[in-house]
Amino acid sequence: MATAGEWIEGARPRTLPNAVAPVVAGVGAAIALDGFSWSRSILALLVSLALIVGVNYANDYSDGIRGTDENRVGPLRLVGSGVAKPKAVLAAALVSLGLAGVLGLVLLAISGLWWLLAMGAVCILGAWFYTGGKKPYGYYGFGEIAVFVFFGLAGVLGTVYVQAGQLSWTALGCAVAVGSFSTGVLTANNLRDIPTDVESGKRTLATRLGDQGTRRLYLVLVAVPYIASVLLAFVTPWALLGLLTAPLLLKSVKAVGGGAQGRALIPALRDTGFAMLGWAVLTAVALAL
């Protein structure tokens, strides 16, 4: 039976910046539109956190029962390591995704934007079918696109819209930047896992692009947010504050660009997540000034 610490590790807390950053950036864009709401911001954050925890438990369950996590490098896999029963991890995933759904309904009830229910349903289904179901799209190279859409476009733009009732080019710029960061995290993760994914037959985008192609993709993705900072500076020069997070990526860029393998790539996941969160916070502050 898994301990509380193992359940927490199984939730993969290092991925939480992927849930927090889009909401923070969205709050900044909403403030720029004079549409900020504490209650809606907090609810959006809780939905995002519950969703990513649900995704992580769902991935643990689905990969575990398929046996694709047996030789995986990285954080503890509850099912793959045998410390938790598959049914228990499945229950944790469903509870987390269910909580995201309930909180999302509360947010829609407060905002009155019931037509966004369809988007919420797609997000929850996307969380499950990433590695769940008979033909999980994450096994066919579509995981990066889904992360960009769900934790970039939907996360940021949804946060803005439920508060301000409108969108802006600034909001879109933030969404593209955060989505690129978040996709960069997944790309670094899948780069690390290429050997084991090939062995298990998991056809991620990284296995399709190959080692060098995946490294180039990562470098492009982490450059996009800083291009966005320069473009957002035409809205407010304070947006250049986002550039201050670039040094956080120096070791990651060196590791990925220099051919690091396996566990040597784990810091790249962490540092990319921290850079994303820092960028979101500084950009939100810039838009609020």
Which tens digit of pLDDT belongs to each residue from 36-52? 999 999 999 999 999 99
- State the total domains in the chain: 2
Cα–Cα nearest to 160, from 98, 125, 111, 224: 111
CATH classification of the domain holding 192: 1.20.120.1780
| CA distance linking residue 4 with residue 285, whole number of Å | 36
For residue 254, the tally of other CB atoms under 10 A from its CB is 11
Position 216 scores a pLDDT of: 98
Which tens digit of pLDDT belongs to each residue from 185-207? 999 999 999 998 888 888 999 99
Rg (alpha carbons) of the chain, rounded to whole number: 18
Same domain? 81 vs 174: no
State yes or no: pLDDT of 69 exceeds 70: no
Provide the residue type at 211 as one letter: D
Residue 90 has, within 13 A of its CA and on its CB side, a CA count of 9
Give the percent of the chain with pLDDT over 90: 85
Same domain? 78 vs 119: yes
Single out the residue in 111, 134, 157 at which a domain terminates: 134
**Res. 74 pLDDT band, cuts 50 70 90:** low
State yes or no: pLDDT of 261 exceeds 70: yes
Q: Judge whether 54 lies within some domain.
A: yes
Q: What is the pTM of this model?
A: 0.94
For residue 88, the tally of other CB atoms under 10 A from its CB is 17
Query: Which range is least confidently modeled, 25-29, 60-64, 143-147?
Result: 60-64
Q: Judge whether 29 lies within some domain.
A: no
Q: Judge whether 146 lies within some domain.
A: no
Q: Which domain holds residue 264?
A: 165-289
For residue 169, the tally of other CB atoms under 10 A from its CB is 12
Cα–Cα nearest to 210, from 198, 221, 228, 223: 198
Which tens digit of pLDDT belongs to each residue from 76-91? 789 988 899 999 999 9
